[in-house]
């Protein structure tokens, strides 16, 4: 693949698109509300288009990383877009959406003979900038092999986890855990502050004990400084835990449901802040 159409130039998509340019891919982009990423990418050699349909007709690989199911549906299942798509192209869908929406997109593209790879990511904006993301791929192994060089321009770990939808499912499970761990980490910091514990010691000792988590190791400093600059927005984390809860299980997901409620309560005040702002309910001001 040479001509890549990239839809969704946000906190993740923008640095991912930059890495494709750095790896000599021809990049085709569109502005949504914020022009800044498009201006910077075109200055670096990308081509700007006026419509998504235009991009889909001219590219041989389309990458989308949009906020939620809603945008996946409105962009990828738009009839004009489906009618315009280059029949020899491939779609790599990287949004953290629901497995159900992913399958809907897959079915619509399959009718057109367009291969689809489900590939949500983990690793945050730092991983996106450094090209060290983890991709959770659902789809045909042959399609993965064909698109692997494109993914390798953005990612370090590429896992094939099942068929289309399985990537979104594993991502939702990861996010359910991450949300729970974030709330737990904030409670640990609140308690440590109350007990006047040295934070470096807490990090070191718990980091080598059974209470260790990625979240405490990586988000503790931000909690201590009350720095909630996104990063990964709280409203997107709420959306991810909601996906996990929506899938349901025969018994219950008591913790996930409780943590989802906490995220819902914080959304109005802190939805556009980093998801660690969920800690405000435990931390002193």
From CA 216, how far away is CA 149, in angstroms rounded? 33
Q: Which residues are designated catalytic?
A: 171
Nearest Cα neighbor of 102 from 86, 91, 112, 113 is 91
The token pair at 19 is 């890495």
The pattern of x and - marking residues 23 through 42 that bind ligand NDP according to CB under 6 A reads ---------xxx--------
Q: Say if residues 263 and 278 touch (Cβ distance below 8 Å).
A: yes
Distances in Å between the Cα of 134 and the Cα atoms of 91, 94, 116, 130, 160 are 18, 11, 18, 12, 11
Q: With respect to ligand NDP, which residue has the nearer C-beta, 14 or 192?
A: 14
Any contact of residue 232 with ligand NDP (CB under 6 A)? yes
Any contact of residue 81 with ligand NDP (CB under 6 A)? no
Q: With respect to ligand NDP, which residue has the nearer C-beta, 124 or 162?
A: 124
User: Can you spell out the DSSP letters for 260-273?
Assistant: HHHHHHHHHHHTTS
Any contact of residue 179 with ligand NDP (CB under 6 A)? no
Q: Tell me how far, at minimum, the Cβ of 37 lies from ligand NDP, in Å.
A: 7
Q: With respect to ligand NDP, which residue has the nearer C-beta, 9 or 137?
A: 9
From CA 270, how far away is CA 267, in angstroms rounded? 5
The pattern of x and - marking residues 236 through 255 that bind ligand NDP according to CB under 6 A reads x---x---------------
Residues that bind ligand NDP (CB under 6 A): 7-13, 32-34, 65-67, 71, 74-75, 95-96, 121-122, 124-125, 231-232, 236, 240
């Amino acid at each position: 693949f040479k001509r890549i159409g990239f839809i969704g130039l946000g906190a993740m998509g923008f640095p991912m698109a930059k890495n494709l340019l750095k790896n000599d891919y021809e990049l085709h982009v569109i502005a949504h509300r914020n022009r800044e990423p498009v201006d910077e990418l075109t200055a670096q050699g990308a081509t700007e288009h006026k419509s998504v349909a235009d991009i889909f007709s001219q590219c041989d690989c389309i990458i989308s990383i949009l906020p939620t199911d809603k945008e996946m549906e409105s962009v990828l299942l738009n009839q004009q877009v489906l009618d315009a798509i280059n029949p020899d192209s491939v779609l790599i869908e990287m949004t953290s959406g629901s497995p159900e929406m992913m399958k809907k997109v897959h079915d619509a593209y399959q009718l057109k003979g367009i291969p689809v790879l489900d590939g949500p990511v983990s690793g945050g904006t730092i991983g996106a900038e450094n090209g060290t993301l983890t991709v959770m791929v659902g789809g045909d192994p042959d399609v993965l092999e064909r698109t692997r060089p494109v993914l390798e321009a953005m990612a370090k770990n590429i896992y094939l986890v099942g068929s289309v939808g399985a990537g979104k499912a594993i991502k939702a499970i990861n996010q359910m855990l991450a949300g729970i761990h974030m709330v737990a980490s904030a409670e640990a910091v609140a308690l440590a502050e109350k007990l006047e514990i040295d934070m470096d010691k807490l990090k070191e000792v718990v980091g080598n004990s059974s209470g260790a988590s990625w979240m405490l190791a990586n988000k503790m400093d931000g909690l201590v400084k009350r720095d909630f600059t996104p990063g990964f927005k709280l409203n997107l984390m709420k959306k991810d835990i909601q996906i996990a809860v929506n899938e349901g299980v025969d018994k219950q997901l008591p913790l996930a449901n409780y943590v989802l409620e906490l995220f819902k309560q914080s959304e109005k005040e802190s939805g556009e802040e980093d998801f660690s702002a969920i800690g405000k309910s435990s931390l002193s001001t």
